[in-house]
Amino acid sequence: MKLHVIGYKGVVGNATYELFKRLGYDVTGSDKDDKINKAEVYFICVPEDTVEGVVLKLANPSNLIVIRSSVVPGTCKKLVELCRYWHICHNPEFLREVIAVQDEFSPARIVIGQCCEEHGKLLKSLYRPLRVPIVLTDPTTSELVKLASNNYLSTVISYWNTIEEVAKRIVVSGHQVGMIASMDPRISPYGARCHNKYGGRCLPKDAQQLIQFAESIGCDPVLIKAVEEINEKCEF
């Protein structure tokens, strides 16, 4: 089976390419503007605002298109309709930018938003050598899982940055507060012991994506807006 990664020079694309290459699959890669090799499965790992254009260039409906980019819920459904019901799955990544390749080989779980049972099984078989839980769901759920996951991390970081600000004003160690509090198994240690503004390519972008999407369907994401505001004001 031939696999092709579009956007393989980026963080997600490179990690995807390296994973399948080291697992022994026949995989090639290209930038989104390069010539795209023929393949049976295409993994789309490009910036969100270019996903639709890249998908529409893949004119063969017999191939499977797998979007790894973080996109708003309903993107795959929309593209399936635009492409006259091609097979398009969503397979979100949960990678840390600095150690993306390492994370790709040791994920907590694989999420597959399957277009159909046949292609869900196909993708599951590709990831089976990793021996981690594989969750099959629909693409829209998968798209929201990705945004929900990143915004949870942003929320936890902003929460502990707020505690750090309180701690500084009463001259105690916010680090120690977080360390002691997170000994409770109900409290995530993520962000509790090292207080910094969140940044990078993903968290700020995905906060904006979720805010804009929620507002577009009539929701007011007050919490996510507050998380973003706290982060913007953070001075440490």
The side-by-side arrangement of strands in the sheet containing 41-44 is: 26-30, 2-6, 41-44, 64-67, 87-90, 110-113, 134-137
Reading the block at residue 201, the tokens are 């390519």
Active site residue 83: no
Return the HEC string of 93-125. Answer: CCCCHHHHHHHHHCCCCEEEECCCHHHHHHHHH
Question: Helix or strand or coil: residue 84?
Answer: coil
Output the CA–CA distances (angstroms, integers) from residue 60 to 15, 43, 45, in the order listed: 26, 14, 19
Reading the block at residue 222, the tokens are 């007050």
| Cα–Cα distance measured from residue 62 to residue 58, given in angstroms and rounded to the nearest whole number | 10
Annotated catalytic residue: which of 45, 202, 219, 234?
202
| Cα–Cα distance measured from residue 198 to residue 43, given in angstroms and rounded to the nearest whole number | 28
Active site residues: 202
